[in-house]
A and B are shown apart, each in its own frame.
Chain A
Amino acid sequence: MQFPIAAKPPVGIVFDAAMRRIDEVLALAMLHGFDGKGQARIAAVCVSSGDLRAAQYCDAVRLFYASATTGLAAMFMHSLPVGLADPVRTGDAPMFQTVGQNTIKSIDDTADPATLIRNTLMAQNDGNAAVVLSGPATDLAHALDMYGVRDWIARKVRVLSVAETGLEADRSAADKVISGWPTPIVTVSRAIGEALPFPGESITRDFAYATPHPIADAYRAFQPMPYDAPSWAMAAMLYAVDPNDGYFKLTGSGNVRALSLDPEQKDRVIRAYIEMASAKPVPRKPRHPVDDKDKKKDEKKDVNNKPDPGK
């Protein structure tokens, strides 16, 4: 049931990624950037590769962006755990060899991705969630198999935005999701990501506000600098957050359509990448489960301790 609330919040994003490429790291940074600017909310982050270090890295990134929030607001800040596909392995990706402070020691500190996705979708307004997929579709295929989840997806998710690069790692899962997903799907081709490279020079220019910086450090560790990075996952993220902002055109018809590049928008897209991926952590407003009105009521309440005269 949806209880009436004052205003519809920004779109909730489920980001399911293998976290094996640097564009996925940058897309994660963009998601935090959008969240900080109130243009989207982080609903869930899942690592489909089962790489425990990648999950630890995602958690460290969360803590990095939460670092600007202090006091009561920090005390009452709450986030869901990172989803991590099973079987879990300790990966050797160079970009995660130095992972900052995080709360994940073992698989027990992570969640089953399908359960996490189900749980987080239940908390979204109808039609106000989007799923960004980069890497194999294994987690989403599991979610579709879970009791009742297809209905939650149909109700809550407005679009599934898919970076095609990486889908091949689990072809049967990809086929299952493409054919069985109950809401529109848009795909980001290999060519789109390559045509919109994230400029490596931005790392030294725009991320220098913090040292160490988990995103910049991962970028440098991914491969020798300087290099520009293809942006498959970033394009999928940008479209999912704001499909109506004219960054891309859509081609094809039916439930599965493809993003196409508008050459006139290329610079604008890359500027959006940089702005969101390099956004600084921002303090969040305090949120307390019991507001002042409730507290006052509670203090004088105690009506519950009086006997029911009818008994």
Chain B
Amino acid sequence: MISKKALPRRTFLRGMGTAVALPFMDAMVPALASAKTAKPPVRMAFVYVPNGIIMQGWNPDYEGTLQELPRILKPLEPFRQDITLLGNLTHNTGRALLDGAGDHGRCCASYLTGVQPRKSVIDIKAGISFDQIVAKQVGAQNRFPSLELGMEDARQAGDCDSGYSCAYTNNLAWKSDTQPLPPVLDPRALFERLFGNGMATTPEARARENLYRRSILDFVSEDTHALESNLGPTDRRKLDEYLSSIREIERQIEKTEKDNAQIDPHMEKPYGIPADFAEHFKLMTDMMTVAFQSDLTRVITFLVTHEGTSRPYREIDIPDGHHPLTHHRNQPDLIEKVTQINSYHLRQFAAWIAKMKSTKEGDGSLLDNCMIVYGAGLSDGNRHLHEDLPTLIAGRGGNHFKSGRRIVYRKETPMCNLFLAMMDRMGVHVEHFGDSTGRLDVLDLT
């Protein structure tokens, strides 16, 4: 007779003001359930980079099985079998369509909404983004229906592009046609959102707290010990690794706060935001890993930097602004600099993919159960083109996609066709979204 009860998927380690969700563990699989019936959930994320990509460094000159990757995609070489490159996807609603200049505002606002945004600085209007449709339907089972994250400038007002509000360039997710969801930029704020009690904490209050505590894990140690005693060796190791990764994130945030305070107490960035781009990217994506791993959410959007950004990249010795560089007018030296920025972004992304792939889940990796789209709302930033948008999917959406391929669709194929296919994988069935004309038909092969 089998009497052992499965550990509920929604088990939390609780302590004072803290609730730490758990990763998917063997103990959560009912004793009589087969591996097939206890499949981990499918998650999706969008990682958006601005100002287009140097496409000759992105597009391979072949279709089918991925072989040697082009220069910008090189960092993903170890994960060639885990990615799918999609060609010729288009966002027609990002084009001017009689609204004149403002491609940066439009391409970002239309990216996940599939509609042409209203050209306005004050009276904003786009559409509900498809991630929010998914979040609404599948997110009820998670602590956070969705997470909106970013690394730069979450301002919502002002003119950011030729008469388009900053709300268009600085948000990816839209809860309704007039309500964008600003991204969380500060790792500390995200950490406390994921593991805290939801109360905002000032730096001063945090400093006081730090005198008395080392980690949020201290608060949940009682629950942790109780749980560990009921786990098998594999789950114990998994739990240990998971809690260690949270502790590591916490350490990094504390280090950032300490460093920031030492560098310049009046620095422009919010208190917990690392000055170093790569460090910031890593912290945010480490927390995205934990959020997926512990099923805190199944939907994440990550606006790396805002659309049209003129951020310099001194980290890689490029003091020029990103956006002005992208208007390179085919000058080789400027193209080279933009390529280096594109590659730099991809290196950070590849490091995250490595982490996702090394995180075990079920019979495979966490990455296997995700669809992580990396892309941009413009292809050629010099000419502001909205076709053949750089788009790759990392992961297999629950081992559903046959990855390791480059698939080129017909020109003008709506990006929204991809969204419909992704919604299907997330269990949300919609007939039409944005300017879709159908579902991407090659994506769902196993």
Contacts and interface: CB of A to CB of B under 8 A. Distances in A.
A130 interface: no
Interface stretch (A14-22, A113-121, A206-214, A266-274): A113-121
A7 interface: no
B98 interface: yes
B98 A125 contact: yes
A264 interface: no
B287 to A, nearest CB: 19
Interface string B401-423: 00000001111111000000000
A110 B410 CA distance: 6
Nearest to B436: A147
B411 A110 contact: yes
Contacts of B169: 304
Contact of B383 (A5, A78, A110, A148): A78
B166 A304 contact: yes
Contact of B437 (A3, A112, A123): A112
A76 B268 CA distance: 38
A301 B312 CA distance: 13
B432 interface: yes
Given A1-B99, A3-B99, A304-B160, A115 B414 contact: yes
A106 B361 CA distance: 41
B229 interface: no
A290 B437 contact: no
A108 B411 contact: yes
Contacts of B308: 304
Contacts of B116: 1, 122
A289 B409 CA distance: 26
A1 B99 CA distance: 8
Contact of B98 (A2, A108, A301): A2
Interface in A220-241: none
Nearest to B166: A304
Interface stretch (A92-100, A242-250, A291-299): A291-299
A5 B98 CA distance: 8
B96 interface: yes
B265 to A, nearest CB: 14
B247 interface: no
B427 interface: no
Interface string A118-134: 11001111000000000
A78 B90 CA distance: 15
Contacts of B324: 295, 298-299
Interface in A72-121: 72, 75-76, 78, 80-81, 107-112, 114-116, 118-119
A289 B97 contact: no
Contact of B385 (A3, A78, A114, A298): A78
A146 B101 contact: no
A82 to B, nearest CB: 9
B92 interface: yes
A122 B435 CA distance: 11
A161 B310 CA distance: 48
Nearest to A304: B153
Contacts of B250: none
Given A115-B414, A306-B268, A307-B268, A290 B327 contact: yes
A108 B329 contact: no
B119 interface: yes
A205 interface: no
Interface in A167-216: none
A302 interface: yes
B266 to A, nearest CB: 11
Contacts of B170: 304
Cβ-closest 10 pairs across A and B = A289-B384, A111-B412, A81-B411, A3-B99, A119-B92, A308-B155, A111-B411, A307-B268, A108-B408, A123-B97
Given A147-B437, A289-B103, 12 more contacts: A1-B98, A78-B383, A81-B412, A107-B410, A110-B410, A115-B413, A122-B116, A295-B324, A304-B166, A305-B310, A307-B269, A307-B270
18 contacts: A1-B119, A2-B99, A3-B98, A3-B99, A81-B412, A108-B63, A111-B412, A112-B413, A114-B437, A115-B412, A115-B414, A115-B437, A116-B412, A119-B412, A148-B435, A290-B327, A298-B324, A299-B321
Interface of B: 63, 87-88, 90, 92-93, 95-101, 103, 116, 118-119, 152-155, 158, 160, 162, 166, 169-170, 268-270, 306, 308-311, 321, 323-324, 327, 329-330, 383-385, 408-414, 432, 435-437
